[in-house]
Structure 1
Amino acid sequence: MARVVELSYYPVKGCAGTSASEAPLTPAGLAHDRSFMVVSEEGVYRTQRRDPRLAVIRPAITADGEHLTLSAPRTEALRLRVDTSGPRQKVDLFGTAYQGIDQGDAAADWLSEVLRARSRLVRVPPEHDRVTDGLTPGTSGYADSCALHVVSRATLDRLNRKLTERGTAPLPMNRFRPNLVIDGWGEPHTEDRARRIRVGDTELGYAKLAIRCAVTLVEQESGAKAGPEPLRTLAGYRRASGGGIAFGAKFAVLRPGRVSVGDDVVVTSWGESEL
């Protein structure tokens, strides 16, 4: 029987994740996932692609979402009261305009110091009504696209075997920043073919393959780029027919609820891989 073995959410897009034993699953994904985003002074999103030091920032948010703490090495932590009612401002995420609520000068100064670039912190407004793409449409906060990123252990195990064969050290799962890690699927990339999944009392719908980028080159503990792996090895066997290199899959939330480590994962509908 397949089951959930890791559960992670990322309160601030691009920053370190938070591991959890259980979490509410909302229509936009795990509670608080990518509900904040670091932007330039012009409102353009920051990402580990260009700002790998985002990885060393460790956010912690209270269950009620009212307080956010930002921590980083050799820097005094900052605790903020989250503003959900302030003025809206335009922000840019991959060229698409959304709205964000600025979280104030203290957050901006702290992030600017850590990232060594003038930055501000914004939160998704309560009325955020983004529609995500893919086979199953859904919604999300400031995620790259869909609500949930799912990877199986078998998928990572296959990659690590290939890396080892090339004389390269295996990589940890956090290099791929998934929300749900599933164990018990014997075949690698089973997530590519799963079209409907029950996880506990929730249900997920397949949206699309997860196309990988330079973020996978960033060592998540140090924030240092460590390329060319895994993209070099993945390019040899995971090129998607529509372009790009695929690893893992994106899902929309069909039925919210609560997800826990140890929950059974049952595929109720299958399809063909888009690879």
Structure 2
Amino acid sequence: MTMRVAAIWRYPVKSLGGQEVPSAAIEARGVAHDRRWMVTTPEGRFLTRRELPAMAHFHAAPTIGAGIVLSHRDGTSLAVPVPDNAPLVRVRVWGDHVAAHDAGDPAAQWLSALLGQAMRLVHLPDGVRRPVADGEVTDHVSFADGFPLLVTVTASLDALNRELASPIPMARFRPNLVIEGAPGAFAEDGWQRLQIGHVSVRVVKPCTRCVITTQDVDTGEVIDRLEPLRTLRAMGRVMPGDSKLREPIFGRNAIPDGLGTIAVGDVVSVTA
């Protein structure tokens, strides 16, 4: 069976709702418009659904000119232009300190009021390069946790769901590229390089999973605080060499080796 792209997702603001799209430009940082914006504390530390599950109530859609429209499930929305002329501020994503533009008081006040605590919205400018820790010297990434792309496989989700009392959707894993037609579950373990349409992609390492996978995609409500993490561990889906921590894994982190456009239905070939 031929492997193909089954779905493409982008998440314009880190940890807010994602968008499934029929095609997407692939840039050095990954899918265009993916995680170029981020919510932070007033001091610049990144915030995610791990500590604020209500971030699931928000979505963000790119606009012409690379701005975004933020929307909340209460029906309110706010247009935010790219803050190119704003001063650079220092923000933190995990262990990385990155220069970003603050998006201004209106966005900060709107988010703060709805989430119940003070926060800021920032944008990663084109000229700032955040290195990929496990990549080549020229590789760089957006505000994603660590890599430009997350690739998941439908056959692997099918295998996981057969072990779960209640099946879960792929969206719980927040992938960028979903691939169907793999020869078997977790075939991605052996992939080192893929050709997806006209774009070559390096498959670098497994993706460790966190409590966000236990939350409902749209509400942030914890469905089961143990699943699917417990079952992934029971299936032996843990970070290699991580016998003590047993960090569960699902999907593969990847880095594009060129620019191009990927569309749903594109053929996927394993080239290494």
TM-score by length of 2: 0.94
Provide structure 2 residue ranges, at least 5 long, that are not aligned to the other structure.
Answer: none
Provide structure 1 residue ranges, at least 5 long, that are not aligned to the other structure.
Answer: 270-275
Letter in 2 for 1:262: G
**Per-residue deviation, residues 200-252 of structure 1 (Å, max 9, x unmatched):** 11010011110111111111111112222111111112122243111000000
Query: Residues 191-206 of structure 1 correspond to what in structure 2 (within 5 A)?
Result: 191-206=188-203
Residue 85 of structure 1: CA displacement? 3.0
Say what the alpha-carbon RMSD is for the aligned residues.
1.3
Give the match's secondary structure for 1:41.
coil
Q: Which has the higher strand share?
A: 1
**Per-residue deviation, residues 105-154 of structure 1 (Å, max 9, x unmatched):** 11101111222111110000221111113366622100000100000000
Structure 2 Cα separation of the partners of residues 185 and 268 of structure 1: 14
Structure 1 Cα separation of the partners of residues 241 and 132 of structure 2: 18
Q: Does 1:126 align with 2:126?
A: yes
Aligned length: 264
Aligned to 1:101: 101
Structure 2 contact 65–82 (Cα < 8 Å) conserved: no
Aligned to 2:228: 230
Residue 84 of structure 1: CA displacement? 2.2
Letter in 2 for 1:53: A
Give the match's secondary structure for 1:13.
coil
Structure 1 contact 136–251 (Cα < 8 Å) conserved: no
What percent identity do the matched residue pairs reach? 35
Letter in 2 for 1:222: T
Structure 1 Cα separation of the partners of residues 265 and 64 of structure 2: 21
Structure 2 contact 195–268 (Cα < 8 Å) conserved: yes
* Greater mean alpha carbon deviation, residues 132-141 or residues 212-221: 132-141
Structure 2 Cα separation of the partners of residues 73 and 9 of structure 1: 19
Residue 64 of structure 1: CA displacement? 3.7
Aligned to 1:92: 92
Structure 2 Cα separation of the partners of residues 184 and 63 of structure 1: 35
* Greater mean alpha carbon deviation, residues 128-137 or residues 234-243: 128-137
Q: Does 1:80 align with 2:83?
A: no
Q: Does 1:241 align with 2:240?
A: yes
Q: Does 1:220 align with 2:217?
A: yes
Give the match's secondary structure for 2:131.
coil
- Structure 2 residue corresponding to 1:259, chosen from 250, 259, 262: 262
Rate the CA distance shift 1:122–1:154 in 2: closer, same or farther, 3 A: same
Q: Does 1:209 align with 2:206?
A: yes
Structure 2 contact 60–69 (Cα < 8 Å) conserved: yes
